[in-house]
Structure 1
Amino acid sequence: MRANMKCKLFFRFFSLTAFYLFTSVLFPQESQTGSIKGRIIGSDDKKVLPYASVMVVGTNNGTATDLDGIFFLRNVLEGKQQLKVSYVGYKTKVQEITIQPNKTVELTVSLDPMTIESEVIVVTGQAQGQHNAINQQIQTNTIKNVVSPERLQENPDANAAEALGRLPGISLERSGGEGTGVVIRGLESKYSSVMLNGVELPSTDANDRSTGVSGLSQYVLQTVEVYKALTADMEANSVAGAINLKLAEAPDSLNYSIIIQGGYNNLNNYFGNYKIQGDISDRFFNGSLGAKLSVNAERVNRSRETMSAGYAVESNLYGGLQYEPVLLSSTTLHKINNIKEKQAATLVLDWKFNPTSKIFWYNFFSRSGGDYTDVSKTYNPLGKTVTYNINQDNSANDLLFSSSIRGEHSFDLFDVDYGIAFSQSHGYSPDNRMWIFTLSPGGYDDKYANNTTRMLQPEQIVALSNDNSDITTLQKIHLDDIGYSTNDLIQKNLTSYFDVKYPFNFGDMISGYIKGGAKYRQVSRNRNYLSAIQYVSTSPQFSFLASKEFDWATLPTGSYISAQHLVDYNVSDFLDGSYNFGWYPRIDLLNNLFNWWNNLSNYYYGLGTDAIIAAFGQYNKIGFTADYLASSINNQDIDEKYYATYLITEVKAGDVIMFLPGVRYEKVTDDLSGYYVKQTPITYAGGMPLTKVNAKHSDEYLLPMIHLRVKPTDWMHIHTSYTKALGRPDYNALAPNTYVNNGMGSFVYSSGNPNLKPELWTNIDLQFAVYGNYVGMFSINGFYKEAKDKIWQRTYSRIKGDQVIPGFSESTSVSVSEWLNHQYTVYIRGAEFEWQTSFWYLPEPLNYFSLNVNYTFLKSETKYPTTRLYTTYEVDDRGRYIPTLHRVDSVATDNMINQPEDIVNISLGFNYRGLNAWLSFQYNGSMLTGWGNQRELIPYKDKFYRWDLQLTQQLPFEGLEAILNLANISDYVEKSKQKGDPRPTYIESYGWTVDVGLRYRL
């Protein structure tokens, strides 16, 4: 009721304001004012200066130039006026102009670079890019960070994510050393929205709402913005921040470039990395039509070696007063060969009616895929087994497409911004194969099957095993299972929006604007996942028939296919020699086996049930048996509609105070489809027994967004904001999927929750910034975040006395997993310190250096509901011990997951006579990576750091440059541990890479 009243009041306020804007446009007041339209450039190189400050002296009428250096000022009083233009790195200029009523003055203003003792200072390309980023941050009405076009183009990173990873408060999620997801202020990537020219891109993740940006080449970008504090004209589903990737438009004349680059990965001694990038752009019809086409293709080796260890606590010696002994359960080595291939293309068309009226058509497409093989070995001394798991997926493809039309028009009295966009992400993997072999018995000698062995280091556990490539050992290693999985995820977004902004002035000292708008988005998301397996160890027919088909498929133990003839080569120097991985299998032979079995199964399915039973004895001994749990809980069918409208006003008092209050209304409705799956002992060759379930979800919120900036001097400002944001539920959490196993093995109940509420976040930011030609920009950003209705997945054991779950009896113990909003508040506090500067004022050679350094401190606090089971025994009247299971529910306080306590980024640049170099350092402090009911086993990731070097050198041939990029020079190995034991739980090594190439541009 209260939310509806707020919404009604908001709509009345919005309608009155819209009526005011409408009548103001139709019936304008007689005014003795004119307008100024112009462009700001540097006098040294004639390049445009984006985000320069333009102000009419003695008034509060001012603005900033856009990315093309263009500005438009309305309501300038008639007569002679002084126009003041300033830009960090250049001298401030005051130019006199004459304004006529209802006329527009057009001009170009050239700014001179700074001088020392009358000597003109040459502004390096690095310094110019830094100045562009600084000026953009100064002129914004919120808090944001910027990656300049010069940094993106002159010294490019591996992808757009890597470029973002050097900004304050940002760390990266990595895969094989490559940045794939962007983590802002320690919040997972799903808490950030990713936009392409202001339009949100669809999710690329199978479970949550996050969008990966690793497939986007930084060469096609004009700039990258990261908004840390939202305004009312931005979507609220951006708790951590909003990332806006801007595609580059066509410059004023013909331009083209090509990059050809080769690379090397030291982990696999691989020389096959390459990158090819080309673009061409020009303007036609006297500059009105612009066209820019970019294409790129690359291949990169992202292989890695990992070790993961599982631990257990099996005692209660200290009653919770101190940590219990931790025993190692298993150690797993992964040898992952991952060759990634990417292709992308962009086409940007724009039509300029005049400098302040434009329409754009942005198009982007990317595809990534490659070859992926993961061979793992799991060592279990207590079970005396070694398990070999081989996974191969050479069929996976991730496609991302976006096409949008956007119009920007400035009229005499108001500005209009509108657009429509379609975007689609499609990830599919139709043929992910799996084989499992086992060395059991005989994986370990009997003398090692004890808890004393389980206190050893993981590398000692591996060394004690009997895993080797001797023939007698290989004959004991037998094929247990063969299987596959398929995955198809597609999401389509259709978005439209309309914004109108009405500037106003009250006298010379009060100015601002009123802005309102609306947005509608329709999301269609569908995921189909299926995993299935054939238990070869229980199907003697499989092994017998395979031995007749393949000479290598020997049966030395009588009924099992062995690994005797499967050895391809041996891997000894694993994780820098800490482990001996041993023999590596022949993947080609395993694929032949899979193809044969698949074809044979299809043949018998065509013959019918009687033929299958006659040949194999049972129907489930042919084909593959579906994994009900994994298949059912991953399927999704979601149609989502998003409605939003907002009202915002900016009021400036002189050049000292900027006040920006606003309010945003958002409503989301979801039509959800999922499946109810009940585990049965029957195998269905044609699929799984599913019952479709439909559900609905809706929510609406009215969200205030307030900003205040005080600028007491030309070189300093203080900015504070209070905003509300939403963390919407993950798609897999909302989907009404339910899995029930009440008749086979352990009882299990797992479900989604269509009734989840979004997390409601309150954000308070405070920024202090000083800037100038000498200092560059130094800023301190403090922030506080608070969340209610935090979403979490509760996992517990339902015991006798709890509420009965449908399908289970009152006395049944059930392993339960369900999504809930918990009642505990989450807190995040932190501060970002950043200094961006160039030393142009120092003597040679120091004047050729630039520096970007930032440090972020984070501290979070959240409650983790935990559960503990214990058993008591009572003696009955017959002397028997009767067990009773009990559960204790409690909460524990700790940091949020995946949030480092410290983030450091340092980039030192050098630019001299065509040499452009950046040496970069990144550091992330330790972070919590998971949570569990056993406090000793709570995992955390150790600190991480890396060094990168990027070089470009102009060559004697005009337009030709040499490129050298070194990544992860320090060859840092990532490690994770747990709270109750110093032994590692995870180690990952992906080596260092070097790329060498040529770039030609004109």
Structure 2
Amino acid sequence: MPIYNKRFTLSAVSAAVMAASVNLQAQEATDYGDATLEVITVTGIRQSLTNAMDIKRDSAGVVDAISAEDIGKFPDTNLAESLQRITGVSIDRSNNEGNKVTVRGFGPNYNLVTLNGRQMPNSTALQSEGITRSFKFAEISAESVSGVEVYKTGKADVYSGGIGSTINIKTARPFDYDGFVASASVKGVMDTSVEKGDSVTPEIASMVSATFFEEKLGVLLAVSHAERNSRSEAVGTQAWVPNYGTADTSAIDRSKNPEGTYWAPWTFDVDVADHDRVRQNGQLVVQFAPIDSVTATLDYTASRYDEQVSMNRTSVWFDSSTGVTDSNGTVINPSVQNDELNFWAWNYDFVTENDSVGLNVKWDATDSLSFALDVHDSTSESQPGGVPAETIANTKNPGKLVNIEADFSNSSGLPGISFDDSALAGGAFAPDNIVSDLFQERGYEIENNIQQFNLSGTWENLDDGALKSVKFGVASTDYQVDVYESQSFAFVDLGDLQALGIKFEDLSDFGDQMGNNSGLFPLLGDYEASDFIDAVKASQQYYEATPTFDKVSEETLAAYVAMDFETEFNGYPVRLNTGLRFEDTEVVGTSIQNGILGLSYWHDEELREVNDDMPSADTLEGDYTRFLPNLDASIDLTDDIVARASYSRTLSRADISAMFPSTSLDVSRPGGPFNASQGNPGLLPITSDNFDLSAEYYYDEGSYVSLGFFKKYVENFIGATTEDRVIYDVDGNPITDPSANPRPGCPDSSGVNPACLGTASDPVITWSVATPGNMENAEVYGWEFAVQHMFGDSGFGTIFNATIVDGDVGYDVYDNENTFALTGMSDSANLIGFYEKDAFQARLAYNWRDDFLLDTRQSQIGGQPVFNEAYGQWDLNASYNVTDDITVFFEGLNIGEETIRRHGRFANQLVSAQQYGARYNIGVRAKF
């Protein structure tokens, strides 16, 4: 008679340890004498959730996981959007796609992301983002991922770098499968926001895996290609600047704002941006097992990310504005007389190339002793070839004949704008009333390389005894970052602009689309920044600033030991994991730049830095050692109830851009401000002592409820220290201000007038120099609650989880001297309902995140805070198995077309309200 067997390819424990959570895979029919083993394949939402639950239950410490629902089928099309379903995990979005993650209130920079246990490099192109270690999930396709694990407690045998969490992305290996398997999917992405380009774009993914020579050789190839067009629309301002312009402050509540500080908008902007994104991923894995005791895995992983953005903006600068404040100090009706409208054009060009080559060799030396060698060389490069990430052009009205007033009194809707352009014959939008103003080119070219070596061993006790296993090893990480920073800025006069083809786009429905009827600019100036730059070059007014080269070398040597125990306490089974990791880190920061000769009075709004042609290097060093212990304990109170307690010490390292030793003159304008910055390679890591208590009740197959409490004592948070000081030129003379007492003929943008260069007789400039430093200690604590319930055999199920997080790391909105606050800290919750029966699957998910501090670097004119307002989004997906091997599916993202809002210190200080629209995918998936 036939024997029916239903089993995991790998157990849940193996999946957690060996990164092979690939659900139940079909097994080839095997003869057992006269009996034949028939295969029952179990996949889908329920099995994926059950696998993830088993990983959570069987792991030491606090671990959450996501497993693929089938070969080539991850729960969401974007990894970050899947991760946000995990308790305590929330995401940041870029162009309405999940891009970076926050765990337990700690933002992207405080979480370490690994690929198959290896630390991955990243790079960026935007100066406004800085150079961080945060991983960009939008660059990785989800189709080749078999699972993701989120370690919320530290482990001695895991690379350090995340005080929020360590997130391990697991990809498939050919030995995970028996024989030949393959999958492929094709989908059309329909973005409802598209106005330019194709509204339906393709996403294609495939994977092929095969084993040969009686399972001694395996080869796996996975590739994907994804295109997406979209449009984003935004209303906001570039910054809210303290004591900017003049204001009536009589309404300020002095009990909250005793100094009467007021904040005025720097600009008022309406933006429309068209995005064209292409993402390509590939992975080739070869596994070889010449003998039963040795397995070698050689893998190559690559991704290519290319996003082109064309953006236009109609805006106004509130230079010398007047207005009246509300009780908080917000100027709610700023106005300027005799000014102009500005018509900006942006071309963004984001290119990132990621490559990783790795080798892993495992050797079972005896039945109880095994060794593993893992090495990899991984590189992330942004803007290869030095193409500027941002090209910016501005045109404006001539003569400053427009009167402008804005209304920021609404704390929930959009602000309004009104202007009187009657003094301009034909009005502000007449082509004859538009002249050239300036251009900018800026951005980073970055090469980030990580080389890691990890030699580990595992001893397993095959006899009775409490000590079950010992893991030990040594590791090294060589982290190298090379940065080429370019920035050009110049005011230009191009004369007749008709050749640029400037036209205007109607914005009459713009506010209505965001749920508000406030008056906005009626028209948007529409032209390409690249055409403007071509005209600048043709007129021989193009200016290219002297680039800066920065380099950070960070080398870490580590040694670790970890032990697992199993015993009993008063008859209750107890599991213990304890370990210690030792790390020694050396940092060298080097900056190469041309010497500063002084400032030239170039324009009535610009003092230009003048450099010599003699590059010189500044080098600073730092070092530190750390011991990182951990102890995890779990006790089975019953067969279904597990209680846990954990302690670990973890660390996060400083952002790369915080460690450049060069002094950069960031802002220098006639009359001020004069802002500069300098990095600090001697920054110590941020360390955290973490305590976790939790209880979990696994009351039915695939169903559980859990409650956890965590507390983190964090030391050495990095904040901005500011020092007023004089900066010296290459000859040792203080830099002076040539605009204070301008000489005849100045300002002069021709570049040939030496009289406009600062001299010893001009006033010496006192610069406000920002330098990062280790400053703060803080406590962060919170509660996590999760319930996952399967309604018997009905096919229905639900998930609800919530995280409440708090701490003494908030931002005082009335304090202009804030030096530190924790970005990303917020409560979050998920509600998911799903149905899976026979050939049909469906899932509806709502993800909510409370308001949080996004950034403290809003403006070069003094760092100002940006808060992201509470945001909730509905996503839907459904699929139908036409046959056992062919599935059609539908996905809907942001189906409620929510608006993302960000504000400054107070709700009516709108920074941006962004509208993206819904996105729908429809496709077919096949497996063989």
- Give your verdict on TM over 0.5: yes
Residue of 281, 287, 292 corresponding to 1:350: 287
Aligned to 1:244: 168
Structure 1 residues 473 and 280: CA distance shift in structure 2, 3 A: same
- Greater Cα radius of gyration, structure 1 or 2: 1
Residues 303 and 337 of structure 1 are in contact (CA less than 8 Å); yes or no, is this contact kept in structure 2?
yes
Structure 1 residues 465 and 991: CA distance shift in structure 2, 3 A: farther
Residues 967 and 994 of structure 1 are in contact (CA less than 8 Å); yes or no, is this contact kept in structure 2?
yes
Residue identity opposite 1:851 in structure 2: T
Cα displacement (A) at 1:520: 0.9
d(CA) in 1 for partners of 2:20, 2:735:
67
Aligned to 1:228: 152
Residues 344 and 525 of structure 2 are in contact (CA less than 8 Å); yes or no, is this contact kept in structure 1?
no
Cα displacement (A) at 1:806: 9.3
Residue identity opposite 2:643 in structure 1: I
Residue of 847, 850, 857 corresponding to 2:804: 857
Aligned to 1:573: 509
Question: Is 1:598 aligned to 2:526, yes or no?
Answer: no
Residue identity opposite 1:261 in structure 2: K
Residue of 77, 102, 108 corresponding to 1:183: 102
Residue of 553, 558, 571 corresponding to 1:639: 553
Question: Is 1:462 aligned to 2:399, yes or no?
Answer: no
Sequence identity, in percent?
17
Cα displacement (A) at 1:233: 0.9
d(CA) in 1 for partners of 2:507, 2:256:
41
Q: What are the residue-to-residue correspondences of 1:9-158 with 2, within 5 Å?
A: 46-48=6-8, 50-52=10-12, 125-150=44-69, 153-154=72-73, 156-158=75-77
Structure 1 residues 477 and 301: CA distance shift in structure 2, 3 A: same
Cα displacement (A) at 1:692: 1.9
Residue identity opposite 1:855 in structure 2: A
Aligned to 1:836: 788
Aligned to 1:844: none
1:777-831, CA deviations, whole angstroms, 9 ceiling, x for partnerless residues? Answer: 22112111111111012346569xxxxx994799964322111111x32111111
1:742-786, CA deviations, whole angstroms, 9 ceiling, x for partnerless residues? Answer: 997434332111221111211111121111435722211211111
Task: Give the secondary structure class of the aligned counterpart of 2:218.
Answer: strand
Cα displacement (A) at 1:130: 1.6
Residues 860 and 896 of structure 1 are in contact (CA less than 8 Å); yes or no, is this contact kept in structure 2?
no
Aligned to 1:926: 851
Structure 1 residues 576 and 339: CA distance shift in structure 2, 3 A: farther
Aligned to 1:306: 234
Aligned to 2:543: 624
Q: What are the residue-to-residue correspondences of 1:582-981 with 2, within 5 Å?
A: 582-585=522-525, 587=527, 591-598=530-537, 601=540, 622-626=541-545, 632=548, 635-654=549-568, 656-675=573-592, 678=596, 680-681=598-599, 690-740=615-665, 745=670, 746=672, 747-774=674-701, 776-795=703-722, 807=734, 813-822=766-775, 824-841=776-793, 847-862=794-809, 896-900=822-826, 902-931=827-856, 939-955=866-882, 959-980=885-906
Residue identity opposite 2:479 in structure 1: V
Cα displacement (A) at 1:912: 1.7
Structure 1 residues 110 and 64: CA distance shift in structure 2, 3 A: farther
1:609-668, CA deviations, whole angstroms, 9 ceiling, x for partnerless residues? Answer: xxxxxxxxxxxxx43152x7xx65xx4212221111112212211471122221111111
Cα displacement (A) at 1:338: 1.1
Q: TM-score, normalised by structure 2?
A: 0.81
Q: Pick which of 512-521 and 205-214 moved more.
A: 205-214
Q: Pick which of 261-270 and 359-368 moved more.
A: 261-270
d(CA) in 1 for partners of 2:215, 2:401:
74
Aligned to 1:519: 475
Question: Is 1:337 aligned to 2:274, yes or no?
Answer: yes
Residue identity opposite 1:238 in structure 2: G
Residue of 476, 480, 487 corresponding to 2:437: 480
d(CA) in 1 for partners of 2:311, 2:146:
38
Residues 740 and 749 of structure 1 are in contact (CA less than 8 Å); yes or no, is this contact kept in structure 2?
yes
Q: Pick which of 930-939 and 784-793 moved more.
A: 930-939
Residue identity opposite 1:386 in structure 2: L
Cα displacement (A) at 1:731: 0.8
Task: Give the secondary structure class of the aligned counterpart of 2:430.
Answer: helix
Cα displacement (A) at 1:67: 6.5
Q: What are the residue-to-residue correspondences of 1:243-642 with 2, within 5 Å?
A: 243-250=167-174, 251-269=177-195, 271-309=199-237, 310-311=239-240, 312-313=242-243, 314=247, 317=250, 320-323=254-257, 327-352=264-289, 357-379=294-316, 380=318, 381-382=335-336, 384-394=339-349, 396-410=350-364, 411-428=366-383, 430-431=387-388, 432-442=390-400, 444-445=402-403, 461-464=416-419, 466=421, 473-504=430-461, 508=464, 510-537=466-493, 542-543=494-495, 547=496, 552-553=498-499, 565-567=501-503, 569-577=505-513, 578=517, 580-585=520-525, 587=527, 591-598=530-537, 601=540, 622-626=541-545, 632=548, 635-642=549-556
Residues 573 and 580 of structure 1 are in contact (CA less than 8 Å); yes or no, is this contact kept in structure 2?
no
Q: Pick which of 218-227 and 976-985 moved more.
A: 976-985
d(CA) in 1 for partners of 2:656, 2:585:
13
Residues 703 and 790 of structure 2 are in contact (CA less than 8 Å); yes or no, is this contact kept in structure 1?
yes
Residue identity opposite 1:832 in structure 2: E
d(CA) in 2 for partners of 1:751, 1:971:
42
d(CA) in 1 for partners of 2:689, 2:650:
7
Unaligned runs of 5+ residues in structure 1 are 1-41, 55-62, 71-86, 89-107, 114-121, 554-562, 602-621, 800-804, 842-846, 870-888
Aligned to 1:985: 911
More helix by share: 1
Structure 1 residues 163 and 765: CA distance shift in structure 2, 3 A: same
Structure 1 residues 575 and 991: CA distance shift in structure 2, 3 A: farther
d(CA) in 2 for partners of 1:576, 1:923:
24
Residue identity opposite 1:233 in structure 2: D
Residue identity opposite 1:438 in structure 2: K
d(CA) in 1 for partners of 2:137, 2:302:
12
Residue identity opposite 1:720 in structure 2: A
Residues 442 and 466 of structure 1 are in contact (CA less than 8 Å); yes or no, is this contact kept in structure 2?
no
Residues 656 and 710 of structure 1 are in contact (CA less than 8 Å); yes or no, is this contact kept in structure 2?
yes
d(CA) in 1 for partners of 2:396, 2:17:
67
Residues 952 and 963 of structure 1 are in contact (CA less than 8 Å); yes or no, is this contact kept in structure 2?
yes
Aligned to 1:33: none
Task: Give the secondary structure class of the aligned counterpart of 1:233.
Answer: coil
d(CA) in 2 for partners of 1:866, 1:907:
35
Structure 1 residues 505 and 64: CA distance shift in structure 2, 3 A: farther
Task: Give the secondary structure class of the aligned counterpart of 1:897.
Answer: coil
Residues 328 and 454 of structure 1 are in contact (CA less than 8 Å); yes or no, is this contact kept in structure 2?
no
d(CA) in 1 for partners of 2:311, 2:161:
36
Residues 347 and 530 of structure 2 are in contact (CA less than 8 Å); yes or no, is this contact kept in structure 1?
no
Q: What are the residue-to-residue correspondences of 1:204-223 with 2, within 5 Å?
A: 204-205=123-124, 207-223=131-147
Unaligned runs of 5+ residues in structure 2 are 25-34, 125-129, 319-334, 601-607, 727-731, 737-762
Q: CA RMSD in A?
A: 3.8
Structure 1 residues 772 and 335: CA distance shift in structure 2, 3 A: same
1:553-596, CA deviations, whole angstroms, 9 ceiling, x for partnerless residues? Answer: 5xxxxxxxxx8x511543432243445554444535x5344225
Cα displacement (A) at 1:351: 2.3
Task: Give the secondary structure class of the aligned counterpart of 1:464.
Answer: strand
Cα displacement (A) at 1:359: 2.1
